[in-house]
Amino acid sequence: MSDSQPNHSNERTIKVEALSRVEGEGGLHVVIDNGQVLDVRLAIYEPPRFFEALLRGRPLEDVPDITARICGICPVAYQMTCVHALELALGVTISPEIRKLRRLLYCGEWIESHGVHIHLLHIPDFFGCHSSIELARRFPAEVNRGLRLKKIGNRLLEVLGGRAVHPVNVAVGGFYRVPKKAELTALTGDLDWGLDAAIETTRWVAGFDFPDFDQDYEMVALQHDTEYPMNEGRIASTRGLSIDVAEFEQHFAECQVPHSTALQAVRLPERTPYFVGPLARVNLNREQLSRSANQLSNELGINWPCMNPYRSIVVRALELVHAYEEALAIVRDYRPFAVGRIPYQARESEGMAATEAPRGLMFHRYRVDDEGKVTFAKIVPPTSQNQRQIETDLKALLPSVLDQDDSSISMSCEKLVRSYDPCISCSTHFLKLRIERR
Amino acid sequence: MTNSRANNVAFRSEAVSFCGRVALRHVETRENGLNSSSNDAESPSDSATFSKTPSLSAKVARSEERLSIVTAVEAETAQPAAHDPFAERKATILAERKAASLVPATCLIVGIGSPHGDDQAGWQAIELLQAESWTKSDLRKAAVPHDLLDWLGGITELHIIDSCIGELNSLGAKRFALQKQPSSNASQWRWIPTEQEAKGNVTHLERPLNLRSAGSHKIDVLTVLELAACLDRLPEQVVLWAIPGHRYNASDTMSEDCQVAIQQCVTSIRQELYDA
């Protein structure tokens, strides 16, 4: 699906009409002059969703349900981040039981999201398949395994979230309904199977051929002393940053770019790109992975910290193992409890939170008035934070593939973008590749 | 699960009654169990504590009190108390769970959609079908088409309801049947509009519609069905109900044309699956 415009100089323009196997609509415009990459622009042209504006004036209790609709693939990430931010604003301390259930819910979302990305979106790239259908013809057992892995994640979301489509059970203060023991223990068999299947998947994908593409990233993620971070932690980076979540906006900024409706994010004060996602999480928290995942990470022969985005597929598989193992532990240890939702009083206040969505760090900040109405909302999804880094990566990649035809160049760019698992729809509060050859 | 819960309650009730006549069976409580009005007390432990001490009646009374708490909590779950501010939310959750966990029938109806404008069509159609008393098929909502793959086990007839944009805008809801061509493989599926079939003028369409569900990871409905075919999961009969729409932004409400088309779709499905 590439297109090349005729030129009368040394410039080249390559167009790829649609970046496949990514969420949303986006375009990439590359300008090459005399074999030099002059410009790379990731252009998101989905209409902005104005969710941050939609939330103003709404009761704070509506925020989890509204933000969940930003994304059909990762609604839990939005819900978790907003409830933690609002609870900070209201002075709510959730119980350990609620905290564990929230981690279980996040496990479900990680499992579902990583399962889809690994098996339907990313693995085809490693076998020259243009679609998951081609992959399914070559590896039906593996694809079936992946779909079952994903399905179990969805089932977990149904049980805990109230339904699979945009969960309705998440509330500020906890949950509207606490699951019964039997509802969770019914999942034990599937979770057991899933753990073994996730380990098999990890060993399989770790054996793929990965392009050499180590880059000098600043990787950013939550970091926690005692657990693999999901809902809590300090914000850390591979260059030594360690800050409280409340300091996020002092170190990271969103900025508008003329070629995209999605905001991009940069590190302050240098305004440099940075990298969020599973690779950042594992690089910063590998010792906190579950026992099986940690053991696997040592067996795979990867030099940690890993700075090759193509190996993100291995890291997602490791997180699948972790999510299954943690989910099993929580389910087996689960005891129903009485107070599913901590009460609170509305007060004029402000709160912020960061959690680890499947695609990386997500940040929310809210202000509420004394009637419990939202007066300000800021939502920074992980994909918008990665956009600048994606552009930088493409600038680094392109010189090595310029001698290829336009179609091959487009495919190489798509594969690199896909390793980020971008959710472009989220990033528009998000491929059509056009390379202009001059 | 309902039967299991009822059995647990009955068992504990019988146990307390028996123990009250003969001896006491200690109803084991968890850390945050019956004394805290847990909504799911575990079944009595096998370790019975028998006592004929003067405090037996008190123990029996405590057990009965615990049982009554359990029963009350479970009753509350089944029929939310009027004063519960979250009663409606809980009822919604339970209804959704119940709808999702219907005993799998051989016919599955899936509405694909999102909360935005006319893209709600698939979901709204499912809600209307759920309200109809004849509906015995499994009814589900999907936010992304690939969730379909989770639900195809044992299904012989699949109906998909989805919003679409394109040339059908003025024609209301349309039905398409997925038909395999003789001696073909999955890559040669054809969509045949039934109206033209009736007229004897079949138009074969490779990819007939610009389906709204094509947004998510580019795994659209047709790709999902092809994938299902590759994995031997595709039901024998697949029907697509396409509901035309034109409003898809986040803040959009559903158009009147779309609402009319949804009603047409539900009526047509009723006629096909129930009245026929």
User: What sign has the CA pseudo-torsion A21, B211, B147, B88?
Assistant: positive
| Joined tokens for residue A111 | 């499992």
Eight-class DSSP state of B44: P
Distance from CA of A152 to the nearest CA of B (A): 9
A111 and A150 Cβ atoms separated by less than 8 Å:
yes
Which residues in chain B have their CB less than 8 angstroms from residue A120's CB?
A: 146, 217, 219, 227
Q: Which residues of chain B have pLDDT under 50?
A: 1-61, 63-82, 101-104, 183-188, 196-197, 200-207, 210, 212-216
> What is the spatial distance between Cα B43 and Cα A287, in angstroms, rounded to a whole number?
39
Taking CB atoms and an 8 Å limit, are B150 and A147 in contact across chains? yes
Residues paired with B264 in a beta bridge: none
A355 and A84 Cβ atoms separated by less than 8 Å:
yes
Distance from CA of A100 to the nearest CA of B (A): 15
Structure-token match 């005729």, residue found: A6
Structure-token match 């300008």, residue found: A31
Residues in Cβ contact with A168 at an 8 Å cutoff, skipping those fewer than 6 apart: A65, A161, A162, A176, B89, B92, B93, B96
> What is the spatial distance between Cα A19 and Cα A351, in angstroms, rounded to a whole number?
37
Chain B: residue nearest A169 by CA? B93
Distance from CA of A94 to the nearest CA of B (A): 16
Structure-token match 């998000």, residue found: A430
Taking CB atoms and an 8 Å limit, are A144 and B231 in contact across chains? yes
Instruction: Report the SS3 class of residue B212.
Output: helix
Q: Does B123 touch chain A (CB under 8 A)?
A: yes
B12 and B27 Cβ atoms separated by less than 8 Å:
yes
Q: Does A294 touch chain B (CB under 8 A)?
A: no
Distance from CA of B216 to the nearest CA of A (A): 5
Give the residue ranges of DSSP H helices in B101-219: 121-130, 194-198
Q: Which residues of chain A have pLDDT under 50?
A: 1-8, 18, 47-48, 425-432
Chain A: residue nearest B226 by CA? A133
Residues in Cβ contact with B102 at an 8 Å cutoff, skipping those fewer than 6 apart: B138, B139
Structure-token match 């589900």, residue found: B140
User: What sign has the CA pseudo-torsion A415, A416, A417, A422?
Assistant: positive
Q: Chain A neighbours among B 43-82 (CB < 8 Å)?
A: none
Suggest the residue from B28, B35, B40 to mutate for an interface test with chain A (most A CBs closer than 10 A): B40
> What is the spatial distance between Cα A232 and Cα A98, in angstroms, rounded to a whole number?
13
> Which of A393, A394, A382 has its CA nearest to residue A421?
A382
Which residues in chain A have their CB less than 8 angstroms from residue B4's CB?
A: 182
Which residues in chain B have their CB less than 8 angstroms from residue A144's CB?
A: 231
Q: What is the DSSP string of A159-176?
A: HHHSSSSS---EETTEES
Residues paired with B109 in a beta bridge: B139, B159
> What is the spatial distance between Cα A59 and Cα B221, in angstroms, rounded to a whole number?
36
Q: Chain B neighbours among A 313-372 (CB < 8 Å)?
A: 335-339, 341
Eight-class DSSP state of A275: B
Burial code of B70-109, b = ≥16 C-beta within 10 A, e = fewer? beebbeebeebeeeeebeebbebbeebbebbeeeebebbb
Burial code of A236-271, b = ≥16 C-beta within 10 A, e = fewer? bbbeebeeebeebeeebbbeebeebbbbbbbbeeee
Phi and psi (nearest 5°) for B163? Answer: -75, 150
Taking CB atoms and an 8 Å limit, are A336 and B39 in contact across chains? yes
Structure-token match 């039981």, residue found: A97
Q: What integer pLDDT is reported at residue B194 of this predicted model?
A: 58
> Which of A284, A281, A255 has its CA nearest to residue A388?
A255
Residue A333: Cβ-neighbour burial (10 angstroms; 0-12, 13-18, 19+): exposed
E strand spans, chain B = 107-112, 138-142, 157-165, 174-179, 190-193, 210-211, 237-244
Q: What integer pLDDT is reported at residue B33 of this predicted model?
A: 33
Q: Does A141 touch chain B (CB under 8 A)?
A: no
> Which of A328, A284, A274 has its CA nearest to residue A306?
A284
Taking CB atoms and an 8 Å limit, are A336 and B32 in contact across chains? yes
Average pLDDT for chain A: 88
Chain A: residue nearest B229 by CA? A133
Nearest-by-Cβ selection for A136 from B32, B144, B227: B227
Q: What integer pLDDT is reported at residue B47 of this predicted model?
A: 32
Pairing verdict, β A36-44 and A26-33? antiparallel
> What is the spatial distance between Cα B126 and Cα B109, in angstroms, rounded to a whole number?
8
The interface pTM score, or ipTM, of the predicted complex is: 0.78
Which residues in chain B have their CB less than 8 angstroms from residue A24's CB?
A: 215
Q: Does B231 touch chain A (CB under 8 A)?
A: yes
| Joined tokens for residue A28 | 């990439």
Distance from CA of B195 to the nearest CA of A (A): 30
Chain B: residue nearest A138 by CA? B230
Q: Does A151 touch chain B (CB under 8 A)?
A: yes
Instruction: Report the SS3 class of residue B164.
Output: strand
| Joined tokens for residue B150 | 């989770």
Q: What integer pLDDT is reported at residue A60 of this predicted model?
A: 96
Max CA pair span of chain A:
74
| Joined tokens for residue B108 | 């599955």
Nearest-by-Cβ selection for B36 from A121, A164, A338: A338
| Joined tokens for residue A199 | 């380990």
Which residues in chain B have their CB less than 8 angstroms from residue A425's CB?
A: 215
> What is the spatial distance between Cα B45 and Cα B23, in angstroms, rounded to a whole number?
15
Residue A128: Cβ-neighbour burial (10 angstroms; 0-12, 13-18, 19+): exposed
Q: What integer pLDDT is reported at residue B175 of this predicted model?
A: 80
Number of Cβ within a 10 Å radius of residue A220:
29
Suggest the residue from B36, B66, B218 to mutate for an interface test with chain A (most A CBs closer than 10 A): B218
> What is the spatial distance between Cα B75 and Cα A399, in angstroms, rounded to a whole number?
68
